[in-house]
Structure 1
């Protein structure tokens, strides 16, 4: 097809720099899917973090963002495209394009923030909605939240569920921290909204089991959980930090049950991954989880 006639679409994949987090996994799935789409009329520009290797495909042109501040304040340095797709609400780079697809995964800040801070987050979301041609989201729960707290100004909102990679047939690797005892498992960024601290008290009544809390632990909340474990002398709860994909698979495959007491989820990807392995899943009754 004539290059002049094809549509150029930019996909902001900035979250590839965090491959073991939820947004990182979603970005990986996007990168694989679009690179292999057999559509002659579309060409994709991948906006990649500087640390990520270029993706080679006849459908894809990789654009490395070496200096985000320059790109943010001088958007004309970004590629000129027909469609700009911001794949989550936190993507900060944007160049005015004929069409703008804005994907919102959650409005968790409504529960995490208060007062002026909460209003500022809501205002930022609204500004992007005002620019958008169409809004997409990942669950009907989130769609209802968007309709309730923002002004769509008559714009369409579509629910497109996250794709979930089948990992239950993949090889796993036992983590070094595994004790060999029966265990429960949970995973996610160790932020306050995840409610993981509740599990510390639960595990006091289950001394024959261990609990592994896995995920990014650079937040104050992770330190609070570690302090709670120490002060309450709960020796069967372990905050492990980030784990590899193969370790995650092993933990899903070998755990007695998956525990997920989160208060703020737009989709709940780990819940579905645990179900792939046929595990009992214990969840909270908040946001999209029910």
Structure 2
């Protein structure tokens, strides 16, 4: 295998999905390459002071002087740009032989009610990266459809490779962030209007024996305030908990111990927390929007709309079906369709297709 570099610039955000994506892809591709006695794929990571990532021999640390000269590009044959609004480092005029793989996670701005100006600016940025790429990977068929409808890919190959799932095992007896006093519902994601968590609050009104915990960065303070104010008006504020980002151990504890996982998001390119919950056999309740039906498949329950009565009816009917049909095993089997080993093999095939 010729030399490959994965640009991990966005790993400077430690609680993001892109951090996990880069870390897992790098580790699993290099595991496969080691088995074949092939050279490592290097991970081009931010300065180490910004990372908690243990050192590996395939880490290539970004330096300030790389702005002037990038000697590591001389032997690079494939550059993997892992995000549709990120960067592509190789200059094609200086390094015409380097092939570029671009991963597009989503074009969610098309589904979030953004202004036409914002959408066009974002699309133009993605199109500029497509123009500089030799192959495109989308993380769902839905994302691929968006790309083909709104961008020009010419005759460049466009692949669909799902994100993988690492098997999780509980390693703590109780979470550090917050331990609930009763059964609880769980959500995981940035706290902003796109995630649409406020539509779930009527479930607390209808189910006084439940708490609701939503993990994730408080991305939009106004939305977080609205969530608290709405919960207070509904008389459920004491059973809504928004602890922010938590450790991986805490997250696993919440996934393993929740009654159900809920993800009413308006726009997703994939939706990794959905299959993270499914690996524990948990019932998941999703919106029907963007990629979520593709990821959840027949193993999930779906909200056809977000009216309070609809949300409650879907939840009640879903929980009843889950218990009566003993769905846990089929849900686990569905989650097992997704693995980083499989994902890494598919990416290796894409890399190899470009360099022969």
Normalised by the length of structure 1, the TM-score is 0.88
Q: Which residue number in structure 2 is paired with residue 287 of structure 1?
A: 290
Distance 1:173 1:115, change over 3 A: farther
* Shift of residue 150, structure 1, vs aligned partner: 0.6
- Superimposed CA distance per residue, residues 265-290 of structure 1 (whole angstroms, 9 cap, x where no aligned partner): 11111111111111111111100111
Matches within 5 A, 1:1-290: 7-36=2-31, 37-38=33-34, 39-50=36-47, 51-52=50-51, 55-57=55-57, 60=58, 62-67=59-64, 74=67, 76-77=69-70, 79-80=72-73, 81-96=76-91, 97=95, 98-112=98-112, 113-167=114-168, 169-175=169-175, 176-220=177-221, 221-235=223-237, 236-290=239-293
Structure with higher RCO (Cα < 8 A, 6+ apart)? 2
Q: What SS does the corresponding residue of 1:7 show, helix, strand or coil?
A: coil
Mean Cα deviation higher: 29-38 or 247-256: 29-38
- Superimposed CA distance per residue, residues 99-149 of structure 1 (whole angstroms, 9 cap, x where no aligned partner): 000000111111232121110000000011111100001111111111111
Distance 2:224 2:199 in 1: 13
Alpha-carbon contact 2:170-2:256 (below 8 Å) kept: no
* Shift of residue 223, structure 1, vs aligned partner: 3.0
Distance 2:143 2:37 in 1: 33
* Shift of residue 54, structure 1, vs aligned partner: 6.5
Alpha-carbon contact 1:17-1:49 (below 8 Å) kept: yes
Q: What SS does the corresponding residue of 1:177 show, helix, strand or coil?
A: coil
Distance 2:69 2:220 in 1: 35
Mean Cα deviation higher: 30-39 or 243-252: 30-39
* Shift of residue 93, structure 1, vs aligned partner: 4.8
Distance 1:104 1:214, change over 3 A: same
Tell me the matched-pair count. Answer: 277
Mean Cα deviation higher: 29-38 or 111-120: 29-38
Distance 1:31 1:197, change over 3 A: same
Q: What SS does the corresponding residue of 1:270 show, helix, strand or coil?
A: helix
Hey, which of these two has a bigger chunk of helix by percent? 2
Q: What SS does the corresponding residue of 2:179 show, helix, strand or coil?
A: coil
Distance 1:54 1:206, change over 3 A: closer
Alpha-carbon contact 2:102-2:136 (below 8 Å) kept: yes
- Superimposed CA distance per residue, residues 154-204 of structure 1 (whole angstroms, 9 cap, x where no aligned partner): 11100111111011x342452242232110001011122111111123322
Normalised by the length of structure 2, the TM-score is 0.72
Hey, which of these two has a bigger chunk of strand by percent? 1
Structure 2 unaligned blocks of 5 or more:
294-356
Q: Which residue number in structure 2 is paired with residue 3 of structure 1?
A: none
Alpha-carbon contact 1:76-1:95 (below 8 Å) kept: no
Distance 2:277 2:255 in 1: 6
* Shift of residue 231, structure 1, vs aligned partner: 4.0
Distance 1:65 1:226, change over 3 A: farther
Distance 1:75 1:85 in 2: 21
